Amino acid sequence: MNLSKNTIIIIISLFAIIGAFTFADSLSTVSADDNSTWVAFNTSNVGLGDLMATITVTIKNTASVPEYFKISQVYTGSITNGTINWTVNSTNPTAEYMIDNTNPGNSPTTTGDLGWQIAPGQTKTVSFVLHANGGMGEIPYYLTNENAVNNTYWPLIPDMGLSASWFDPDEIQTLNPNLQLESWCGTFTFGAVNGADYPVSGIIRGPVIPTDSNLIYSDPKAFLDTGSVAGTGVALWNVTLGPYDGAIDSSDSEFFKYTYKWPIPNKGPVFGTGSSVFAAAGNQTNNTTSTVPNQNTGIPMGLLGLAAAMVGAGVAYAKFLR
């Protein structure tokens, strides 16, 4: 076989280039998955506080018996060390204190669950205003992601700024199938405070994010992180805060306001957006996200046939026609 050195170099280069493109394409997918990698948190030099929420809910009782739409004052989302304790500032119409065997509370003014009676077949709209107590209230605090892991990525750190937590507004329909959520709208306000004596920059996410909802208002105007929570863009802000000088003022703090509305218009209950884990095999797939079949799922096999034909045609041509 007479084969020049140049020919071999060309062949090897050809495969190297094609192979590199192929694997680079695949590895880019891995990189995209790495967006969900969270580093383990230690503490934060920026804390969030003065968190308030104004929520309006329209809900229908589809049962033939009276039901109560209840609200709790303890919120735990997909976070660790991030339980938020709420105080209900006001309700409209005035909520009633609930018979409660899970969170009865010691005082009717600060704890215990509240609720509204909804008659059979009735659709009721209620609103309530909450503010956080303690952490994320008067104490600047931050959320940590439960999937956070220790890492050795130095010097490259996949730190995406302060985290968000999220919840499903329509989860009430699962918890109590007699209650059908017609609409949900929540406005959140919070402040970010720099606790360091030097200026800092980075990403701050809205601390509480409803899923399957649209961000309809934000001030300052927020960016949307669509990779963290399936079906919802997480409001985030790129901020620079001045050094803390012993007193919180406008140089070392900033206030944010954002409003989400559920459901996303014209978005029916469809498949293709989920990333939750089913209980049965959850331990197999821990810390992974689902890929979802969609319009592009599946590979046409026509090209495989063409490739086989090319090999066959090449051999046949070389043997019979050359």
Partner 1 sequence: MKFPIKLPTLFILVGMFIISLYLLIEVDYYSYSATISDSNDTPYVVIPSIGVNESINNKSIDYGVYYEPLSSLPGEGTVILFGHRTLHGSPFLNLNELQSGDNVYLEWPGIGNVEYTVSNTTIVDASYQIPLYQGNTLFLITCYPISSDTQRMIIGSKYDNTTPLQSTQSKPNSQSSDAFLIIAGLFGGGMLLSKFYPVKQDKILIVIATIALTVLLIYAYFFPVPTDGIESLLTNINNFFSL
In the complex, minimum distance from the CB of residue 8 to partner 1, in angstroms, rounded to a whole number = 7
5 makes contact with partner 1 (CB under 8 A) = no
108 makes contact with partner 1 (CB under 8 A) = no
Q: How many whole angstroms separate alpha carbon 112 and alpha carbon 161?
A: 34
| Binds partner 1 (CB under 8 A): choice among 33, 34, 182, 197 | 33
233: part of which helix (H) or strand (E)? strand 232-241
In the complex, minimum distance from the CB of residue 2 to partner 1, in angstroms, rounded to a whole number = 5
Token representation of residue 265 = 């218009």
**DSSP output for 80-129:** ES--EEEEEEEEESPPEEPP-SS---S-TTTSS-EEEEE-TT-EEEEEEE
Among residues 228, 39, 44, 42, which one has the least CA distance to residue 149? 39
In the complex, minimum distance from the CB of residue 284 to partner 1, in angstroms, rounded to a whole number = 6
175 makes contact with partner 1 (CB under 8 A) = no
Contact status, residue 51 vs residue 84, Cβ threshold 8 Å:
yes
Return the DSSP state at 42. -
216: part of which helix (H) or strand (E)? strand 214-219
20 makes contact with partner 1 (CB under 8 A) = no
| Binds partner 1 (CB under 8 A): choice among 13, 17, 29, 93 | 29
Q: How many whole angstroms separate alpha carbon 244 and alpha carbon 192?
A: 12
Token representation of residue 313 = 């045609």
In the complex, minimum distance from the CB of residue 16 to partner 1, in angstroms, rounded to a whole number = 8
- The CA radius of gyration of the chain, in Å to the nearest whole number, is 27
Closer CB to partner 1, 4 or 250, in the complex = 4
Stretch near partner 1 under the rule CB under 8 A, chosen from 5-13, 56-64, 124-132, 254-262: 5-13
Mask of contacts with partner 1, 117-156, x by CB under 8 A?
----------------------------------------
Q: How many whole angstroms separate alpha carbon 210 and alpha carbon 78?
A: 12
By CB under 8 A, the residues from 280 to 319 that bind partner 1 are 280-285, 288, 290-293, 295-311, 313-315, 317-319
In the complex, minimum distance from the CB of residue 62 to partner 1, in angstroms, rounded to a whole number = 14
Closer CB to partner 1, 12 or 224, in the complex = 12
| Binds partner 1 (CB under 8 A): choice among 13, 19, 66, 171 | 19
Pairing of strands 179-194, 253-262: antiparallel
35 makes contact with partner 1 (CB under 8 A) = no
140 preceded by cis ω (within 30°)?
no
In the complex, minimum distance from the CB of residue 213 to partner 1, in angstroms, rounded to a whole number = 16
| Binds partner 1 (CB under 8 A): choice among 17, 20, 28, 76 | 28
By CB under 8 A, the residues from 238 to 277 that bind partner 1 are 268-277
CB atoms within 10 A of CB 304: 10
Site size for partner 1 (CB under 8 A):
71
| Binds partner 1 (CB under 8 A): choice among 17, 20, 26, 99 | 26
Provide φ and ψ at 11, rounded to 5°.
-65, -50
